[in-house]
Amino acid sequence: MDKKIKYFILLILLIANLCYQCTYNFGLWNIFVSSLVIIILFYQFAILDLNKVYKFLHYIMIVVCFIEIYIGLKNDDWILTYGFFGFLLFLLWVCLEPTLNSLASFFLRQDHFSIALKFANISIFIFGKKSYILAIKGSALNMLNRYDEALVCLEESQELGYNHHFLYSNLGYCCIYLEDYEKALEYFKLASEINPNEFAYLYNISQLLIQLEKYDEALSYINKAFELNENNELLSELIEVINNKSD
């Protein structure tokens, strides 16, 4: 079904809910809560992109559930209490995977690689292998010097369709440590195509080309790197290496 049709159906549902609530004079709070429930469920089951707005509404709905549970307990309304308690459990389950993935990514950025690996493993154990979390796990394994395991994870991530310079750069570093320089070069070129302004990718490509004795191509990438960082001494050292090897 086309995305526009899905959003049109959502609009009809919200208008119908508004008419129903106004007819029975349920008040603004009930209109807000019921509309939020409709949006959350619609996004979840209509297979729409879960954007930042949806995620924000998701967390708002968790707070609303706690409020409704409190109101239900206060008024001895057990239908309301159990209904929103069940919906709260559903929301927490839906939130669990992105929360675990975010924690794995956070600890990876903070250089706590073992902790990042634990959260990645928990996410994979509960929700199965997904491209993004496999890339996070592979990166953590890379940083823990477990290169063979890292390569398996990163290649699985690629097979599942993850197409990001973060993935390809990690594959490149992994292949360097495993001394597969041709493959490493291929991956760093893919990373550089996606993010051409990343100096590290151009520098690594230049190094690998020198390692593979492709000096002319290495010089072209060194020149590209110079455009990003004119005064970098490492690039000058690479040119000296090429000159020495060419003599």
Q: In a 3-state reduction of DSSP, which class is residue 19?
A: helix
Question: How does pLDDT run along the chain (247 residues), one tens digit per residue?
Answer: 566 776 677 778 778 777 766 776 677 777 788 887 777 777 666 554 556 676 777 778 888 889 889 988 988 888 888 888 888 888 778 778 888 888 999 999 999 999 999 999 999 999 899 999 999 999 999 999 999 999 999 999 999 999 999 999 999 999 999 999 999 999 999 999 999 888 899 889 989 988 888 888 888 888 888 888 777 788 888 888 888 776 5
Please tell me what DSSP assigns to residue 112: -
pTM: 0.71
Q: How many CB atoms lie within 10 A of CB 200?
A: 15
Cα–Cα distance for residue pair 241/247, rounded to 1 Å: 10
User: Taking Cα atoms as reference points, which of 67, 99, 63, 69 lies closest to residue 86?
Assistant: 69
Here the tokens at position 9 are: 């159906």
> Could you tell me if 204 and 233 are in contact, meaning their C-beta atoms sit under 8 angstroms apart?
no
Q: Are 46 and 4 in contact (CB under 8 A)?
A: no
**Nearest by Cα to 154 from 176, 131, 177:** 131
* Residue 205 tokens, joined: 């490509």
Length, in residues, of the chain: 247
